[in-house]
A and B are shown apart, each in its own frame.
Chain A
Amino acid sequence: SAVISQKPSRDICQRGTSLTIQCQVDSQVTMMFWYRQQPGQSLTLIATANQGSEATYESGFVIDKFPISRPNLTFSTLTVSNMSPEDSSIYLCSVLGLAGGHEQYFGPGTRLTVT
């Protein structure tokens, strides 16, 4: 499986500001995804990061709030914009495995606290 890193690993931000999270993979991957895991909850898919085109967002998530970039096959960013305390969560990127069975591998996550 690919080695995935995320930066920052954690941050504490003030409401109204924005934070950009980076996801770096050590090999080229076709599919990258961004998830949110709120306290005590399971993972919810925010969007699929598409290389060379706009991200595909899931219901309840919009580009203005969570702009995503995917400039190449090894890197993506997720920005959490105009943050509120409700955005406090763990944000994880993942990549599709190479075995063709839809399994995904996750980065270590970014723990965001909004005060």
Chain B
Amino acid sequence: GAVVSQHPSWVICKSGTSVKIECRSLDFQATTMFWYRQFPKQSLMLMATSNEGSKATYEQGVEKDKFLINHASLTLSTLTVTSAHPEDSSFYICSARDFRGGDTIYFGEGSWLTVV
């Protein structure tokens, strides 16, 4: 399958600071990427759809000014958690849509964020 990579794998930041997570499609171009968050023992929750060259589409209840998404190229989307608080600590996962040979979504390895 296609390869999607996230960086960093884990990050610890102080409360009130901002942290950026990168999502890259390594072997294909992705016009559409998705961002999820997952709390312990819960399922993945879709946060937003990231579209290359346009504004992201946020799910209901997700603050767009807090979770900034930028999809400036066909292989990179970034999620910036602004003014992070401890309740933002979570597992953040991105995925990318691969249209080669059909339409399949592949996920990155995930990024653990801990806000202290």
Q: Do A and B bind each other?
A: no
Q: Identify the A interface with B (CB < 8 A).
A: none
Q: Identify the B interface with A (CB < 8 A).
A: none
